[in-house]
Amino acid sequence: MLYFNNDYSEGCHPKILEALAKTNLEQTPGYGEDAYCRRAAEKIRSLCRREDAAVHFLVGGTQTNMTVIAAALRPHQGVLCAVSGHINGHETGAVEATGHKILQLPSADGKITAEQVASAVGAHRADPSFEHGVQPKMVYISHPTELGTLYSLEELEELSETCRGLGLYLFLDGARLGYALAAQAGEMTMADIAGLCDVFYIGGTKVGALFGEAVVIGNPALREDFRYLIKQRGGMLAKGRLLGIQFDTLMTDGLYLSIAAQGVAMAERLRRTLKTLGVPLLVPGITNQVFAVLPDTVLDALAETFVFSEWERVDEAHRAVRFCTSWATREEDVEALCQALEKLCRT
Amino acid sequence: MLYFNNDYSEGCHPKILEALAKTNLEQTPGYGEDAYCRRAAEKIRSLCRREDAAVHFLVGGTQTNMTVIAAALRPHQGVLCAVSGHINGHETGAVEATGHKILQLPSADGKITAEQVASAVGAHRADPSFEHGVQPKMVYISHPTELGTLYSLEELEELSETCRGLGLYLFLDGARLGYALAAQAGEMTMADIAGLCDVFYIGGTKVGALFGEAVVIGNPALREDFRYLIKQRGGMLAKGRLLGIQFDTLMTDGLYLSIAAQGVAMAERLRRTLKTLGVPLLVPGITNQVFAVLPDTVLDALAETFVFSEWERVDEAHRAVRFCTSWATREEDVEALCQALEKLCRT
Amino acid sequence: MLYFNNDYSEGCHPKILEALAKTNLEQTPGYGEDAYCRRAAEKIRSLCRREDAAVHFLVGGTQTNMTVIAAALRPHQGVLCAVSGHINGHETGAVEATGHKILQLPSADGKITAEQVASAVGAHRADPSFEHGVQPKMVYISHPTELGTLYSLEELEELSETCRGLGLYLFLDGARLGYALAAQAGEMTMADIAGLCDVFYIGGTKVGALFGEAVVIGNPALREDFRYLIKQRGGMLAKGRLLGIQFDTLMTDGLYLSIAAQGVAMAERLRRTLKTLGVPLLVPGITNQVFAVLPDTVLDALAETFVFSEWERVDEAHRAVRFCTSWATREEDVEALCQALEKLCRT
Amino acid sequence: MLYFNNDYSEGCHPKILEALAKTNLEQTPGYGEDAYCRRAAEKIRSLCRREDAAVHFLVGGTQTNMTVIAAALRPHQGVLCAVSGHINGHETGAVEATGHKILQLPSADGKITAEQVASAVGAHRADPSFEHGVQPKMVYISHPTELGTLYSLEELEELSETCRGLGLYLFLDGARLGYALAAQAGEMTMADIAGLCDVFYIGGTKVGALFGEAVVIGNPALREDFRYLIKQRGGMLAKGRLLGIQFDTLMTDGLYLSIAAQGVAMAERLRRTLKTLGVPLLVPGITNQVFAVLPDTVLDALAETFVFSEWERVDEAHRAVRFCTSWATREEDVEALCQALEKLCRT
């Protein structure tokens, strides 16, 4: 079987494995206080053009989301989020388990707008019983979103401005950030994101690492005592250097962006074929996720050789499915997928 | 000013005050272990025709909701609830503060259906990544709902059957239960509710008491150690007898239902006037809440003498507002309100 | 039976009952936003000589403790407390249920010292793995303590100074504050306490009210959004005026202190008898609690007429028990208790 | 510098690195549902002689502790634990952050006894106000303890029997379990532990893995829905196979025990030298931790070449320090340490 169901089916980029092997028997301090973590953090700060930013390394996305949110909010405060947001539907209520309500905003494409945020906050503040509602204090977005869509620089600027004007924190979940930056090369940089968000993270798990997410905290109000929170929420790796070594490798010589670009190119290859075949996309996209609407017959045949994710039923005879490429996707496998699609769709 | 904005503007029914005065200097054990609490509990069990039910007295509704839910659920479990449910929008995230997600269901009239429950549970169980979602384990309904609507006996039976079939708990918030029972006299009794729900409560605060909600736990699985939870969540009144005395009084000689019927009659009086005047209702209703759609001009003039609750804007010139009667509403005040409406609507 | 087991066996002071009856059918806004609450708060601010203090009314002690602590602390912060402190052993883990650890300090007499606080905080800060420990951020004391002991003004000043120097909040649980102020009349005033603590509360439940605790927040950092927290933790009474009316009554014409003084006088009467009889006290005290060490034979005989609290076994033939008086204790009942003791101890 | 300060200073055993490299580009399902996890789980079940046990892999110790405890307890229940227990002092209140109180038991050597457990539970149940206390429902022990001490088989049997008799869960934290099993070879096996505990875990992080703890749940009551909890607490690794591969390697051909035995042998080498030199141990021990009491002068000189952990001051001129060996400790480094000690202690 060839796996196109997600972007975490393989291990890690060979350079990371090499670095882990090379350093394996070195002795270092634990809990992220080693030289590799320091070096990786410096490289990230430099890419972000924020010498003052705090950089921390955590193991996974759910852990990072709940830790950042628990660190930032008081008990009566909640986080605005698209109804399709990862924290809302795919993390077993991890945020609520820290005591905070997710304030859902409708969204067709996975994104939310500055206007939605302003309107929700405005409604809360105008309510004479506002103290009986949860106070919106943070906005959570993913970039790319769950549907693979992207914020334009302008949209992100508007969100950022709105949040700052209203006294809310803007938190960007970048579990797939590499694919966004690669797809928007020339339009948006990591420094743009660091400048516009109060806190965000650079996903490693889905972009070349074995695991790991690098949290970048620009807003000084959110930096205080963050390591206590990492420890309390179970995210402080004893051998923290494993995270430092991985991010150090990814942030060296543009590896992170270049392997993400490769993942995006593989998805582009697939999108071209689908376009040629007249297969509609559920949502247009330019990153490593492709949401295609295909006949059940095609999908059932395809499933004999390829693994993909079921997304939703579109009509009696069609389903939307997700094909996901990654830094590890091999050209010959995408070729095989495209050929199979061509064959099945044309018969 | 005459208050029609809610059903907790006054103190308590005179008989309760009398009972409190009469017993004031008696010495009793604390924390709900006195003879008054025992006697009130027995009367409630008798009305419920459930000799085995556990009955506990708490101070207020938010406290009761969060205590019942925290007692019933494991950390990964959530509660299905209409988007308009009280726990979802009017309790400052109290349920989430105990760690549990509220799983919102759409609802136009404040009610949810057995079908919605079955569909939500079915979708969760069919999801291959179900462990990444919150497990639905309880259904929360209000009766009457936030919009004053009522479940028919048949609807409640369907909900109950569906919940039992799926292994979910059915929890009924009866903060205004008296008004429901009075309005549905002949159709649904407290014993029906006790038979169909795993746990429910009989609201005192809005139906004649100074404060207090009586929780009735029919399902043995939910009874264990409940008093620990009351104490932990801050709901165990030192002078617990105050709750016992109040509910003992309310449950004697049908006082609870008769005063609720009086509140409903006052609302009926208003509904008749509105009907005569051709004023549309936002939602039809038969309890103590009246949601009327009136011109801004009428409402602005009315507001000089009467207090009511703003509900929502309907169009450029009309708003929906809520008039609320109660056991304490005086006939002359409703008369005055009706006359004012007649005068304002006919000019 | 005559109850000396606690100070919440009766209802409330007659003047409170009178005020409740008199205002019963008045219509007021709910949730503590009525004129009675405002007036009571003003009287308290005036007694505290803190015109800027925020004053809120909650229903009970556990609720107040957990709400204040949850409002003040971030998730990784804990509260220093005597091992015998009420929050540590008598509230079913309510504080931990809000996510916070109680950092226990040893204490023989229920009190903790400035030195203990400084030492615990110093040890935490000096620990190279400090982020693996809970950060002490608040000090919780009771005045009187669980053992009826009192802080001197000097001790309280030292605690206050130490907390401020170290950046910790000082929180005083005054569930029985009236008895402390009455016993220390001339030495310590409510204004002293308001000046030295960041937040404290004036207990109503045990000093003449049906229920109710008045929280006084002097430190502006702790005031923000406090009402959200009250609502979230289930402490916002719909008919909030019940609290306002009670505290307004208690704070008028010195009623709170005068009835507390009466409770203390009753305990003094008992202490004199015990002294005459040569009965040792477990801890010396001057408030409304008397901890006496008596032979089992005496206690068993006494228990036929009087109810008191078992405290601890002292040796094979003796137990320590607690006698508790209150504003409601009748002179003839203390007389009866003293005579019974005299008779039993002398035979 | 040579590091003897802990047992997580290096990466992983070369065989693990090899297995990771070999499987790196294989495609597998995520979240622990791959063949490597299945195979590792089967090997562990076999070693435990519990074919029915549930086996789950988590990333780190704090995460594992809080997940197991949150999964097992209802909100009003707490966990009995030595005051020196890891969850009590070294995890930033992670357990309390899930809402549960740790019920501390005094302990001089890091262990607790069946008698202490029985006595604490008995006291709770005998208390007439037991509902105002936290209900003991689980016993947490570490084996080895924080002080490197070990339970004998008999002691563990007594604890197990006591817990079962009282209806409590016995949870064994085996972060360093390998060193215990190696040191107690012939006395206690993994199967013994699996038979006596309701749930325990086999530490990988400190015994040869890059990271990872294998939770073994014998008690069926604790198995239900455990994967939801792992996800909710942030412990479900996307590339779960990394854990499966590591534990599969460790559980093959006795690698886990043999490398642990090597770590213990290195500590034995050091203990022999200390004995010869007449250096007292703070606690006697037979695992990979050595707590030695040495003169400040010796320690200060030693610190120029060796890294060790400060433990506590013993007297004006002596401190207790911890030397920790591991599977990765090289003989030549222990040799160097012993020689340095000999030189410094004899001058």
Tokens 């907390």 label which residue?
C163
Alpha helix stretches (DSSP H) within C295-330: 296-302
Q: What pLDDT was estimated at residue C347? A: 76
| Chain D residues within 8 A of C60 when measuring between CB atoms | none
For residue C96, give the nearest of D91, D99, D129 by CB distance: D99
- Spell out which residues of chain A touch residue C75, defining contact as CB-CB under 8 Å: 70-71, 98, 229, 232
Query: Which fold would CATH assign to domain A2-7+256-346?
Result: Aspartate Aminotransferase, domain 1 (3.90.1150)
Whole-number pLDDT of residue A165: 98
Structure confidence at residue D347 (pLDDT): 75
CA of C25 vs chain D CAs: smallest distance (Å): 36
User: Which residues does chain C have within 8 Å of residue A227's beta carbon, measured at their own beta carbons?
Assistant: 131
Residue of chain A nearest C77, judged by CA positions: A228
Within 8 A by CB and 6+ apart from D230, the residues are D56, D58, D67, D236
pLDDT band at A309 (very low <50, low <70, confident <90, very high): very high
At residue C176, φ and ψ (nearest 5 deg) are: -115, 30
Give the pLDDT band (50/70/90) at residue A111.
very high
Please indicate whether, in this complex, the C-beta atoms of B71 and D71 are within 8 angstroms of each other: no
When CB atoms are compared, the residue of D97, D100, D132 closest to C75 is D97
The Cα–Cα gap between C249 and C270 comes to: 29
Inter-chain residue contact D131 with C90, CB threshold 8 Å: no
pLDDT digits (tens, 9 = 90+) for D268-318: 999 999 999 999 999 999 999 999 999 999 999 999 999 999 999 999 999
Regarding beta strands B318-324 and B77-82, do their DSSP bridges make them parallel or antiparallel, or are they unpaired? unpaired
Please write the tens of the pLDDT for every residue from C297-320.
999 999 999 999 999 999 999 999
**pLDDT over 80 at A80, yes or no:** yes
Running along chain B, 347 residues long, what does each successive block of 10 average in pLDDT? 94 98 97 98 98 97 98 98 98 98 97 98 97 98 97 98 98 98 96 98 98 98 98 98 98 98 97 96 95 96 96 95 97 97 90
Q: Output phi, psi for D266, to 5 deg.
A: -65, -40
- Which pLDDT score, from 0 to 100, does residue C346 have? 85
List the single residue in B with minimal CA-CA distance to A135: B92
**Percentage of chain A with pLDDT > 90?**
99
**Partner residue facing D101 (CB), from C93, C133, C134:** C93
Cα dihedral B195, B199, B205, B209 sign: positive
What average pLDDT does range A86-100 have in this prediction? 98
CATH number for the segment(s) A14-253: 3.40.640.10
> CA distances (Å), D134 to each of B59, B227, C96, D30, D208, in order?
22, 12, 10, 39, 38
Smallest CA–CA distance, residue B333 to chain C, in Å, is 12
**Is residue A346 predicted with pLDDT exceeding 90?**
no
Helix (H, G, I), strand (E, B) or coil at A176: coil
Select the residue of B1, B23, B60 nearest C234 (Cβ to Cβ). B60
- Residue among A70, A75, A228 minimizing CB distance to C131: A228
Write out the E strands in chain C: 2-3, 54-58, 77-82, 102-105, 135-142, 169-173, 199-203, 213-217, 289-295, 306-307, 309-315, 318-324
Give C56 to chain A, closest Cα distance, Å.
Answer: 14
On whether the CB atoms of residues C212 and C247 are closer than 8 A, the answer is yes
Write out the residues of chain B at the interface with chain D, using a CB-CB cutoff of 8 A.
70-71, 74-76, 98-99, 131-132, 135, 225, 227-229, 231-232
By Cβ distance, the residue of B9, B25, B59 closest to C10 is: B25
Nearest CB to C132: which of D91, D131, D310? D91
Chains that touch B (3 or more CB pairs under 8 A): A, C, D
Q: How many CB atoms lie within 10 A of CB D195?
A: 15
CA distance C81 to chain A (A): 21
On the 0-12 / 13-18 / 19+ scale of CB atoms within 10 A, C223 is middle
For residue A347, the model assigns a pLDDT of: 76
Cβ–Cβ gap A210/D236 under 8 Å: no
Question: How far does D171 lie from chain A, in Å, by closest CA?
Answer: 18
Inter-chain CB proximity B98 and D76 less than 8 Å: no
Taking the CA of residue B21 and the nearest CA in chain D, the distance in Å comes to 28
Closest CB to C10: pick one of B27, B211, B228. Answer: B27
Quick check: C318 and C296 in contact, CB under 8 A? yes
Q: What is the pLDDT of residues A185-244, one digit of tens each?
A: 999 999 999 999 999 999 999 999 999 999 999 999 999 999 999 999 999 999 999 999
pLDDT at res. B346:
85
CA of B132, closest CA in chain D: separation in Å? 6
Name the neighbours of A, counting chains with at least 3 Cβ pairs within 8 A. B, C, D
Q: Which residue has the tokens 């307004």?
A: C248
Chain A hits for D28, Cβ within 8 Å: 9
| B93 torsion bin: left (phi>0), alpha (psi -120 to 50), beta (else) | left
> Whose CA is closest to C166, among C126, C226, C224?
C126
Give, for all 347 residues of chain C, the pLDDT tens digit: 899 999 999 999 999 999 999 999 999 999 999 999 999 999 999 999 999 999 999 999 999 999 999 999 999 999 999 999 999 999 999 999 999 999 999 999 999 999 999 999 999 999 999 999 999 999 999 999 999 999 999 999 999 999 999 999 999 999 999 999 999 999 999 999 999 999 999 999 999 999 999 999 999 999 999 999 999 999 999 999 999 999 999 999 999 999 999 999 999 999 999 999 999 999 999 999 999 999 999 999 999 999 999 999 999 999 999 999 999 999 999 999 999 999 999 87
Residue A107: its pLDDT value, please? 97
pLDDT < 50 stretches in chain D = none
Instruction: Indicate which of B5, B34, B59 best probes the interface with C, i.e. most C CBs within 10 Å of its own CB.
Output: B59
* pTM for the structure as a whole: 0.97
Under 8 Å CB-to-CB from A224, ≥6 apart: which residues? none
Domain map of chain A by residue range? Answer: 2-7+256-346, 14-253
Output the pLDDT for position B347: 76
d(CA D338, CA B51): 75
Could you tell me which chain C residue has the CA closest to the CA of B89? Answer: C232
The CATH architecture one would assign to domain D14-255 is: 3-Layer(aba) Sandwich (3.40)
What local confidence, expressed as pLDDT, does residue A146 receive?
A: 96
Q: Which fold has domain C14-254?
A: Aspartate Aminotransferase; domain 2 (3.40.640)
Neighbours of chain C (3+ CB pairs under 8 A): A, B, D
Residue C141 pairs in a beta bridge with C172
d(CA C128, CA C147): 37
- Closest approach of C77 to chain D, Cα-based (Å): 8
